[in-house]
Structure 1
Amino acid sequence: MHRRTKIQRAAGRRLRAGNRRGVAAVEFAIVAPVFFLLVIGFVELGRGLMVQQVLTNASRVGAREAISLHSSTTSAKSAAEDYADGCSVSGVAVSVSPDPASASAGDVITVSVTVPYADISWVPSPWFMGGSTLEATSSMRKEGFE
């Protein structure tokens, strides 16, 4: 029976280890782009959901302002825009229908808040939802007695 010496065994291990040099770097090069793409995707999805919630709350704030007794379209729009700006979402477009100043008590006033997704994305050129627009709408009845 042939026995190998300690030196021969160590040399054999070095040869086998030498064949595997660089394998970790190649595996990282294959996996890293997919991993980073997933991480960026999760961050963008979270940002989109957060902005959608901000738009919903901004439309509620604007509608609440619009239904008060002595409100106007301008005050409702500025209330919704101020709320969105306070949450670091700028560039929103607010529409109020009908005009709160001419609405009668009990009329439904609708406030819509929209923003293009490209304006709120943290990625320079969003490809996932780049062409879409986030929107939220709230409707409330005008306050008062008539």
Structure 2
Amino acid sequence: MFRLLHRRSERRRRGAALVEAAIALPIFFLTILAIVEFGRAMMVGQLVTNAAREGARQGILYGSADAEVRDRVATFLQNAADIEPEHVDVQIDVAPGPDREDAAPEGVVDAQSGDRVTVRVTVPWDQASWGVLRWLGGESFQGEATMRHE
């Protein structure tokens, strides 16, 4: 009698594992994709900050020009994160240093020793994402670095 009851319950649960897997696996894979996407977001955010530092380092060198700073930032991001240069927005501000007595500098070319060079880099998330999940769509990564001119 026990065997008869055991066989009936086996027949009713025959597809239960398949149904449970059909429900659990998509949730599991979606979680894995989310971890990968947010990991990429953290990496790109750090790379944008590093690109701003590279641009500021270029900008504080004597004889540098704004175009050289923009090229340095774009090249860094293209090599490090495979972000095309046309999607990178670079803003360069030069503030007069405490010892400067004449007019404020117009760009990196006019900077003198002690002037502060600030480089801001912005990259849209849509251009930096690997996956198809667009959770951060419309957002942008921003990095900023300020250094004193040599």
Structure 1, unaligned runs of 5 or more: 1-7
What residue is the counterpart of 2:81 in the other structure? 88
Q: 1:44 aligns with which of 37, 48, 66?
A: 37
Distance 2:75 2:127 in 1: 17
| Structure 1 consecutive aligned stretches of length 4 or more whose deviation exceeds 6 Å | none
Aligned to 2:119: 111
Find the aligned partners of 2:30 and 2:133 in 1 and give their Cα distance. 14
Paired positions, count: 135
State which structure, 1 or 2, has the greater radius of gyration over its C-alpha atoms.
1
Q: TM-score, normalised by structure 2?
A: 0.83
Q: What's the Cα RMSD here?
A: 1.5
Cα offset for 1:13? Answer: 2.8
Unaligned 5+ segments in structure 2 are 95-106
Partner of 1:25 in structure 2?
18
Give the equivalent residue in structure 2 for 1:132: 139
CA separation in 2, counterparts of 1:92 and 1:85?
Answer: 10
**Aligned residue identity for 2:50:** N
| Counterpart residue type for residue 141 of structure 1 | R
Tell me: higher relative CO, structure 1 or 2? Use CA pairs within 8 A at least 6 residues apart: 2
- SS of the residue aligned with 1:137? strand
Q: TM-score, normalised by structure 1?
A: 0.85
SS of the counterpart of 1:123?
A: coil
Partner of 1:74: 67
What code does the residue aligned with 1:69 have? Y
Letter in 2 for 1:134: F
Confirm or deny: 8 A CA contact 1:44 1:121 kept in the other structure.
yes
Does the CA-based 8 Å contact 1:55-1:135 persist in structure 2?
yes
Contact 1:118-1:125 at 8 Å conserved across structures: no
> Is the CA contact 2:56–2:69 (under 8 Å) kept in the aligned structure 1?
yes
Q: Is the 8 A contact 1:51 1:89 kept in 2?
A: no
Task: State the 1:39 CA deviation.
Answer: 0.9
